[in-house]
Amino acid sequence: MLSADEAQERCQALIARARAAGADAGDAVYLANSSESVQVRLGQLEDVERSEGEHIGLRVFTGNSSASIGSSDLSDEALDELAQRAVAMARLAPADKYAGLAPEDRLFKGPMPQLDLVDAHEPTPEELREAALAAEDAARAVAGVTNSEGAGAGSGRGVVALATSHGFSGSYAATNHSVSASVVAGEGSGMQRDYCWRTARHATDLLAAAEIGRRAGDRAVARLHPGRVKSAKLPVVFDPRVGGSLVGHLLGAISGSAIARRSSFLLEKRGERIFDPAITITDDPLRHRGLRSRPFDGEGLPTAPRTIIEKGVLTGWLMDSASARQLGEQPTGHAARGASGAPGVSASNVVLEAGAVSREDMIADIADGILVTELIGQGVNGVTGDYSRGASGFRIVNGEIAGPVAEFTVAGNLIDMFAAMTAANDLDIHRGIDVPTLRIDGMSVAGD
């Protein structure tokens, strides 16, 4: 794997080759990662894995036509062939008046922000094994846990570089560390499983391995002997483990591509209040040690913190350059690149800010409701906002968690759900999308 500086130079060299081959414009992206992981099960080492991969992708334009191509071979000869083939392909491609590089006057300029994404400590396989064993041992020590699906620990490093033909060149590196455990409670047909995991840029930011294991064990035992629910309109409370998916549906609906295609249930909602005024949702790509932090986007534009929902009001769309041109607007620094193809749209570190009440106070007035801890299936219509997903979790009776329930469906429409949403104060930031416990009254619960 190349260093960040070497990767940046390689992208610049590929762009020079593309221009020499006849491209009017282009950009090159380098993506690489290496990872090492250790898996244990029932106290025994089960697997040790190390992987490395790198890829360079080239996108070229001839007029309004473009083509993308990529390779894992970074030799001079391979880059020569890559550039020539890409230009030949672009000359045969149909024109797209919205395609093109980001506006030159909006490109990132100046020093890269210091986001502290690299942990200098690289754990040894022995250290990873110790962490995995600690997680599994703690999980298996929970009374009621009868088996283990295993525990794991891993670390990795990645490098991203991007160069464009109109003046941008940048790169950065990032590391990651993770610990997870998954165990089984109960016997026979009554067995239940659950898990816990954590990922962080720096190992010191991880929850202790034993605590991760204990949470996995407690969660599995809590799910034993689930009951059924009767169909009704009920208050539904979403645990933070699953509540972030609701914000994910919001992000998909406000992407510039969805708006340009007119395939979003929020199409006419910009500038309108779609949440309660107590709800604010932010996106911060410059958070120190953030899992999705990045100094520039996939087109070389600067990134910056942004409020997506401000006191309940939808502030606007997330756009790459192509969708911005189609909408007659400016890109927002949310372009995301894969190893090949045109950029898409992606948010970064998204947070739904904490509310004013505790989780206990949030459910205190619920005489009959549901706490959802797991969602199943993909029953969400991004065009209409209709929402229906299988779920499991716990009954709420007279303001208390009463016992596990399973095999039911929660349904509604996302516009109505957003408007009815309230947030507790138990926000814990450790994912890419972080939310506190969320409550939505009046949802349809389908059970027996």
**Would you say 405 and 394 are in contact if contact means Cβ atoms under 8 Å apart?**
yes
Residue 118 in this model has a pLDDT that exceeds 90:
yes
Residue range 263-284, pLDDT digits in tens: 999 999 999 999 999 999 999 9
4-221 carries CATH number 3.30.2290.10: yes
Mean pLDDT within 33-43: 97
pLDDT of residue 100: 95
Rounded Cα–Cα distance for residues 426 and 354 (Å): 7
In sequence order, what DSSP letters do the residues of 62-86 get, joined into one string?
Answer: ETTEEEEEEES--SHHHHHHHHHHH
Model pTM? 0.95
CB distance 169 to 10 below 8 Å = no
CB contact at 8 A, 257 and 325? no
Please give the DSSP secondary-structure letter assigned to residue 317: -
Predicted local confidence at residue 338, as pLDDT:
87
pLDDT for the residue numbered 275: 98
DSSP 8-state symbol, 120: S
Q: Which residue type sits at 23? A: A
Question: pLDDT-derived band of residue 448, with 50, 70 and 90 as boundaries?
Answer: confident
CB 286 within 8 A of CB 303: yes
Mapping DSSP to helix (H, G, I), strand (E, B) and coil, where does residue 340 land? Answer: coil
- How much is the average pLDDT of 68-94? 95
Write the DSSP symbol of residue 263.
-
Could you give the C-alpha distances from 179 to 49, 123, 182, 197, 209, in angstroms and in order?
15, 12, 11, 6, 7
Amino acid at 2: L
Of 361, 301, 368, 355, which is closest to residue 106 (Cα–Cα)? Answer: 301
Q: Reply yes or no on whether the pLDDT at 422 is more than 90.
A: yes
- Tens of pLDDT, residue by residue over 304-357, are 999 999 999 999 999 999 999 999 999 999 999 988 888 999 999 999 999 999
Which phi and psi (to 5°) does residue 94 adopt?
-70, 155
| Residue range 356-403, pLDDT digits in tens | 999 999 999 999 999 999 999 889 999 999 999 999 999 999 999 999
Other CB atoms within 10 Å distance of the CB of residue 104: 11
**Within the chain, what is the greatest distance between any pair of CA atoms?**
73
AA letter at 282 = T
145 backbone φψ class: left, alpha, beta (φ>0; ψ -120 to 50): beta
386-397 and 368-376 as β-strands: parallel, antiparallel, unpaired? antiparallel
What's the pLDDT band for 158 if we cut at 50, 70, 90? Answer: very high
Residue whose structure tokens are 């094994």 = 129
Q: Among 112, 109, 113, which residue's Cα sits nearest to residue 166?
A: 109
Q: Which of 158-167, 178-187, 337-346 has the lowest mean pLDDT?
A: 337-346
What is the per-residue pLDDT for 339? 80
Q: Is pLDDT of 110 > 90?
A: no
Task: Report the alpha-carbon distance of residue 333 to residue 348 in Å, rounded.
Answer: 10
Q: Read off the tokens for 398.
A: 């007279």
Q: Please say whether the dihedral angle defined by the alpha carbons of residues 357, 358, 359 and 363, taken in this order, is positive or negative.
A: negative
Kindly report, as residue ranges, where domains of CATH 3.30.2290.10 are found in the chain: 4-221
As a whole number, mean pLDDT of residues 20-31 equals 97
Residue 158 near residue 141, CB atoms below 8 Å? no
**Structure tokens given for 137:** 């041992």
Distance, in Å, from the CA atom of 425 to the CA atom of 359, rounded to the nearest integer, reads: 7
Report, as an integer, the average pLDDT of 215-224.
98
